[in-house]
Amino acid sequence: MTTRPKIRSRRILPGFGLTLGCSMLYLTLIVLIPLAGVFVKSTEGGWDFFWQTAFTDRAMASYRLSFGASLIAALINAVFGLLTAWVLVRYRFPGKRLVDSMVDLPFALPTAVAGIALTAVYTSNGWIGKLFAPEGPIGSHFPPDGIPLAYTEVGVVIALTFIGLPFVVRTIQPVLEDLNREAEEAAASLGANRWQMFSRVIFPELRPALLTGFALAFARAVGEYGSVIFIAGNIPYKTEITPLLIYMKLEEFNYDGAAVLAVVMLVASFVLLLLINGLQWWSSKFQRAAV
């Protein structure tokens, strides 16, 4: 009897059972059970079926494209995202507030709209694609085809770069804003030049955030479907991303096959995220040890 009031005193606020119960039920019904279903379904055809479906040449080509293009896009975003965050935090220029809100456009713009807009811009008669077409000012230096952008792997990278753009900027920006400028002043008084200051004082502080942003952009890009399928051209073995392959299996009512590819994707992105998390942990440990 004596323990009872103690337990009660810990939970004075009401509604614990109701809110936890409702959210657990909702989470389980909408997310957990259906997701578990994919894993169950993928094993239904047996181990041989799993192996044969997961590693066909066409599936392998799609993994290479999905993960490779996502990696390149995330790297591009890491570089230009860092530059953008730097410019937005440290410099002043007219229209800065507008540019700052524009960065979130890929979050707010529906992927299908992004897809058709990017396709229109980057095809050989689009505003930017025209420059790289065989008769365009840049493309004419690369005979005979110029540099085709849409309907190639380059197009996939362009779409994935668009999708991942805000992640790096938005993870680095708050860290850069909170950065203690006294460390820079100290470095200056010790005679460091601006580049040394950036590479040895500022960049190590930004590295964990940069890795987080990179990981988020990468994870988003791997699963992306809407913006890619318009600009990719979807040529088997060449510009076919894994989510599209899953979609096509479903259209053929090959549910087991679709589930197998989905499981490969889920596991692969999970392992990659784990790796990146490890890298992030190592990076922050390394940084602490250096200080």
Residues of span 246-275 touching other proteins by CB under 8 A: 246-247, 250, 253, 255, 258-259, 262, 265-266, 269-270, 273
Residues in 5-44 at the binding interface with other proteins, rule: CB under 8 A: 11-16, 18-20, 22-24, 26-27, 30-32, 34-35, 37-38, 41
Q: Min. distance of Cβ 33 from other proteins in angstroms?
A: 8
Residues in 161-190 at the binding interface with other proteins, rule: CB under 8 A: 161-162, 165, 181, 184-185, 188-189
Q: Min. distance of Cβ 259 from other proteins in angstroms?
A: 6
Bin 253: left if φ > 0, else alpha if -120 < ψ < 50, else beta.
Answer: left
Query: Taking the CA atoms of the chain, what radius of gyration do you get in angstroms?
Result: 24
CA dist 267 → 38, 106, 128, 213 (Å):
12, 26, 37, 21
Q: Min. distance of Cβ 225 from other proteins in angstroms?
A: 4
CB closer to other proteins out of 31 and 60: 31
Using CA atoms, how far apart are residues 212 and 148, in angstroms rounded to an integer? Answer: 32
Using CA atoms, how far apart are residues 38 and 40, in angstroms rounded to an integer? Answer: 5
Using CA atoms, how far apart are residues 87 and 238, in angstroms rounded to an integer? Answer: 37
Residues in 185-214 at the binding interface with other proteins, rule: CB under 8 A: 185, 188-189, 192-194, 197
Residue labelled with tokens 């975003």? 77
CB closer to other proteins out of 41 and 238: 41
Please report, as a single letter, which amino acid is at residue 168. V
H-state helical runs in 11-56: 16-27, 33-43, 46-54
Q: Which two tokens stand for residue 140?
A: 């004419």
Q: Helix, strand, coil % (nearest 5) of the chain? A: 80, 0, 20
Residues in 57-86 at the binding interface with other proteins, rule: CB under 8 A: 80, 83-84, 86
Q: Min. distance of Cβ 59 from other proteins in angstroms?
A: 14
- 278 is a site residue for other proteins (CB under 8 A): no
Residues in 141-160 at the binding interface with other proteins, rule: CB under 8 A: 158
Q: Min. distance of Cβ 145 from other proteins in angstroms?
A: 22
Using CA atoms, how far apart are residues 114 and 154, in angstroms rounded to an integer? Answer: 16
Q: Which two tokens stand for residue 179?
A: 């950065």
CB closer to other proteins out of 152 and 161: 161
Using CA atoms, how far apart are residues 79 and 98, in angstroms rounded to an integer? Answer: 21
Residues in 92-131 at the binding interface with other proteins, rule: CB under 8 A: 92-94, 97, 99-118, 120-121, 126-128
CB closer to other proteins out of 156 and 262: 262
